[in-house]
Amino acid sequence: MTLRDLPPKDHAQGGEDQEAARLLKANPGKWLKVRTSKTRAQAQSTAYRVRTGALAAFRRGFHADAITTETGTHEVWATYQPEPRRATR
């Protein structure tokens, strides 16, 4: 058994996604690798979920691309591009 001051981070709750979203919002236009996947299909699915806001941390203004590196690693890269504000009358 192990005693801790705080419980370990619960990765099932999207904590890493929340951190990534905060970092991207603080740096609009910059890209960040948010996931590594076992297959290209999984990477493409995750990128789609980021773009559509299906992942809770990534709502409006996020874009993502799935890539396969030269070494065959399947990655998801995301960026935050805030939507332009509409003029008010």
Q: Could you tell me if residue 89 is inside a domain?
A: no
Instruction: Write the pLDDT tens digit of every residue in 51-82.
Output: 999 998 998 899 999 999 999 999 999 999 98
Q: Is residue 3 part of a domain?
A: no
Is 28 a domain residue? yes
Number of domain units in the chain:
1
**Residue 1 within a domain:** no
Q: Give pTM, 2 decimals.
A: 0.77
Query: Given a cut of 90, is residue 16 above it in pLDDT?
Result: no
Helix (H) or strand (E) holding 78: strand 74-80
Task: Let me know if residue 32 belongs to a domain.
Answer: yes
Helix (H, G, I), strand (E, B) or coil at 32: strand
61 part of a folded domain? yes
Cβ within 8 Å of residue 43, ≥6 positions away: 35, 37, 66, 67, 68, 74, 75, 76
CATH label of the domain that carries residue 44: 3.30.1370
Give the domain range for residue 55.
17-80
Dist CA 25 CA 81 (whole Å): 8
Are 75 and 23 within 8 A, CB to CB?
no
Domain membership of residue 76 (yes or no) is: yes
